Structure formats: structure tokens, C-alpha cells
Amino acid sequence: MDKNKKQPSQDEAEFDILICARTKDSADVLKGSIWDKCRDCQSSVWISLSGQRAMKGNKKLVPFCIECAYKKHKDSKDMEIQAAPGSLQELQRYLAGRKKH
């Protein structure tokens, strides 16, 4: 084990972050979205259907607003980002619907 490598704090090791849009910043919402609270600042955030499914499949996954997720990891050199299964298709449907308006 490398003693010089910074180990994650106990709090950081306990959860994975689901990045969500704040409800106050989002006039348009993906169909089926629900709201929850950002784990850090307690702002209301939207959780899409794909995010809800991801949270059911990963009990360590917790919602963070975009701003808090950025602040928490802006200096991280080894942060791993993954799209929730189905989230890209949700985004495509959302954008296709906006073009019609």
C-alpha cells in the first residue's frame, strides 16, 4: 500500500454521487422525474427515471446538485464519471421534444 497516496475519508468512501439539476434552475423536467434533496446543501433536485433506477440498483448512490458535486470534486484527479443506464436516451428524447416548441 502506498503510504503517500491520499486515502478517501470515511464519509467519501460511503457513497457515490448522482449529479442532479436543482429544481429552481430547471423549468423543463424529464417525464417521470421526482424531486429529492441534495445531500450537501439540501436544495431540491430533480431525479430522472434513469437516476431513480440507478439509485435502486446502487444503495450507495445519493443525489447531489451540480454545484455541490462540482465543489466536492473540482480538485479530484481520479474522479470517475459514468452515465446512468438510459440517461442518454432520456436526454435525446428531451432535446427532441424541445425542438418542436
Is 3 within the bounds of a domain? Answer: no
Residues 96, 100, 101: CA angle, nearest 5 degrees? 120
Question: Which triple of cell numbers denotes residue 101?
Answer: 416548441
Domain span at 72: 14-99
Q: What is the pLDDT of residue 99?
A: 67
Give pLDDT < 50 ranges for the chain. 1-10
Is 7 within the bounds of a domain? Answer: no
Question: How many other C-beta atoms can be found within 10 angstroms of the C-beta atom of residue 63?
Answer: 23
Q: What is the pLDDT of residue 69?
A: 93
93: which residues sit within 8 A by CB, 6+ positions away? Answer: 30
Is 4 within the bounds of a domain? Answer: no
Beta strand residue intervals within the chain, DSSP E: 16-20, 34-37, 44-47, 61-65
Is 36 within the bounds of a domain? Answer: yes
Domain count, the chain: 1
* pTM, full prediction: 0.74
